[in-house]
Structure 1
Amino acid sequence: MVSPPNAVKIHGQGVGRSLRQAYVAASVPAWQDTGRHFHLQHRPKRFTHKHATEADYGKRKPKYLREKFRRFGHTYPLVKTGEARRLAATARITARAGTGQVQNRGGVKVAYPQLRKLNFRHPNSDIDMADEFRRVPDRESVLLGHYFIARFSPRFEGNFR
């Protein structure tokens, strides 16, 4: 199955067979919470200069930035008229637990089905806005990992009490 082009995937490492039921019961809601947290806290940062620097967005031409500032009053990355930012407000969050195998680790997918606008490109441009939107910098990945562990641990330990 092919993933939607504007989806962010986050994966865990998997577990052994003996703990599978406890892992599934704890990980699915934890992944769901992590996806919701990503959507609410990290998605808006996709449209900032700080994230553009961290995620190494492609450099825009000065002429484009001047025209954008003159017409719209800003130079935010991935935003021109603001339509992409508005369309990114709706997400489909899908969480699943893995079987413990490396190929099937489980995780969460935060898809933005209405955000097709980022797929359109000028034929002479090397900038791929959909790819830039999907990039998860190392710092953000670590923060999401800590968030997942904070949600997963109490649920997993609660299954053995």
Structure 2
Amino acid sequence: MTPRRLYGRFALAEAVTWALLILGMVLKYSGISESFVPVFGMLHGLVFLAYCAVTCLVWVDLRWPPAVGLLGLASSVVPGATIPFERRAARAGLLMGGWRLAPGGERPRTVAERLLAWSLRSPLLAVPAGLAVVAAVASVLLHLGPPVPRG
């Protein structure tokens, strides 16, 4: 899977889960049901964290300038903004080509590049490890409490 395809899928998933969370809030505040917000909120939170992780992986591999990487991360905060960001990045050629650090590619130099190169060499280990990291971060955030104080 190319960086462009992977990034496009996560950008779409992040936007869709934003829409589901907003739908859940509409249903809650219109008095229909409050039960959708926790489900859609958790789903969106997990996809949000995964999108941020994928943004960092693509940023490292494709050597995005810091401003582009930070804008990619910031686009996840605005509902639906990940899709236009991904499309602009693709049009600008920022998602071109395969994985630079894949086996047979460039030799990694930094710690982040070494981690990404290992992930590309060992996807059957890297995917569960990435899911575990996302779950751990989500657990810590849940323990800290909701993003908006209750009451």
Length-normalised TM-score, structure 2? 0.31
Q: Which has the higher strand share?
A: 1
Q: Mark the structure with the bigger radius of gyration.
A: 1
Length-normalised TM-score, structure 1? 0.30
Q: Which has the higher helix share?
A: 2
